[in-house]
Amino acid sequence: MIKFCVMSSTLLSVWALIVFAQAGPLVLPGSPLAGLTSQELELFRMGREDFSEVETAEDGLGPAYNGTGCSSCHASPAIGGITTMTEVRAGRRDENGKFTELTGGTLFHLFSIADHRCQVQIPDEANVIARRAPIPLFGAGLVEAISDQTLIESEDPEDRDGDGISGRAARIVDIATGRQRIGRFGWKSQHATLLAFSGDAYRNEMGITNDLFPDEVALGIDPEQLKLCSPPKKGVEDVRDRRTQLRGIDQFENFMRLLAAPQRGVVDSAALGGESIFQNIGCQSCHTPVLFTAQHKNPVFDRKAVALFSDLLLHDVGTGDGIEQEAAEANEIRTPALWGLRFRRPLMHDGNSSTIEDAVLRHAGEASAVIAKYRELPQGEKASLLAFLKSL
């Protein structure tokens, strides 16, 4: 982690600005970004409608799927948030430690359409099984507008500054454009754009094929058998709306891009004190308080401070789920944003932490020295730090 050394003083002042800029109008979770044009508000409204729709087998759902709509897993405390659903991933690690994907990728499908001939089972060869919790989408458009360069500048893969914290930018190919990009969405930073994630989720979570992901897949089921389980089709199922020409994946992208960021909760004096402890013991090394968006033709995204509390880099904090995915190693997880933490339970990529304190205590690996400092804090300071985290 190198950016803190060079940026600490500017960060501090920006951070203070953000804390004291809370007094604006109340932004309820699930609201659109402030300052949208009426046309953008209409895109947001239409996008939310599609995002919340419940699909059936006649609409292309399945044959294997995890949810009947994006909102099956992104609905609390408002559309775009999370639910308590966790997904399963599986794969195989051989005697030499090499990870291989089984037929159909790593995502397991929990459900299948009638008559369930294509119900997925964990294949015998699988010896790695992992669970993943949903990630809330509030402020996702701002995260998308952070430049690749910003993320590359803060990575330190060789740990050249010797602080024990490395952090890698996830170099991936964006399926929507075919371009080399830096991933920032998903627990493995597997996507760089909301359009690519929409295509991925539409096919992989719901079984609805689209321009970006045109083929049906299901873990452990060969494509020929999958065809037999689906009603006959004429190509991809995500068709353009006759009036707007938008595809489902464009609608999801619009909704997520225009969702407002989570607003800070009440910042009392304990929380304020906790904020400096968070910084002093080094949590901010990975949970970077603020990143800035690049220049953007839309003023809503143009050079904005994004108070997300994440560097969006891949780290090994000893909790890795064993799955290699895109640029991420088996033991790497992308630092989650902490904004909106008060609306989220359970925590961590696997949803295995029921409290914030438990999530903190599970950090090891690159975070070991920081967590050792946390453990040594006097009780009062620990309470302040937790009050700060609960105010996010």
Residues in the site for ligand HEC, rule: CB under 6 A? Answer: 66-67, 70, 72-74, 85, 87, 132-135, 137, 140, 165, 185-188, 194, 197-198, 201-202, 205-206, 252, 256, 281-283, 285-287, 315, 317, 319, 333, 335-336, 338, 341, 344, 347-349, 356, 359-360, 363, 366-367, 370-371, 374, 389
Measured from the CB of residue 224, what is the shortest distance to ligand HEC in angstroms? 26
- As to burial, measured by CB atoms within 10 angstroms (0-12 exposed, 13-18 middle, 19+ buried), residue 86 is middle
Q: For residue 287, what are its two tokens? A: 């949970």
How far apart CA 18 and CA 349 sit, in angstroms, is 27
Least distance to ligand HEC, CB of residue 80, Å: 9
**Of the candidates 280, 232, 259, 312, the residue with the CA atom closest to the CA atom of residue 381:** 280
Q: Of 214 and 222, which CB lies nearer to ligand HEC in the complex structure? A: 214
CB atoms within 10 A of CB 143: 23
Report the nearest approach of ligand HEC to the CB of residue 347 (Å).
3
In whole angstroms, the minimum distance from the beta carbon of 316 to ligand HEC comes to: 8
Nearer to ligand HEC, 25 or 329 (CB): 329
The one-letter code for the residue type at 321 is D
CA–CA gap between residue 58 and residue 193 (Å, rounded): 29
Closest approach of ligand HEC to the CB of residue 90, in Å: 13
Decide whether 135 or 145 has the Cβ nearer to ligand HEC: 135
Q: How far apart are CA 86 and CA 107, in angstroms?
A: 12
Q: How far is the CB of 215 from ligand HEC (least distance, A)?
A: 17
Read off the amino acid at residue 29: P
Sign of CA dihedral 372, 377, 383, 388: negative
Handedness of CA 72, 345, 313, 157 (dihedral sign): negative
* Nearest CB to ligand HEC, comparing residues 85 and 272: 85
Residue type at 125? E
Do 285 and 165 meet the contact criterion of CB atoms below 8 Å apart? yes
CA distances from 97 to 77, 94, 126 (A): 40, 5, 13
Cα separation of 325 and 359, whole Å? 23
Task: Give min distance, CB of 243 to ligand HEC, in A.
Answer: 21
What is the C-alpha separation between 210 and 254, in angstroms, rounded? 16
Q: Which is nearer to ligand HEC, 15 or 252 (CB)?
A: 252
> How long is the chain?
392
Cβ nearer to ligand HEC, comparing 228 with 272: 272
Rounded least distance, CB 107 to ligand HEC, Å? 8
Q: Which is nearer to ligand HEC, 58 or 124 (CB)?
A: 58
Min dist CB 81 to ligand HEC, Å, is: 11
89 or 226: CB nearest ligand HEC? 89
CB nearer ligand HEC, residue 229 or residue 281: 281
Could you give the CA distance from residue 88 to residue 228 in angstroms, rounded to a whole number? 24
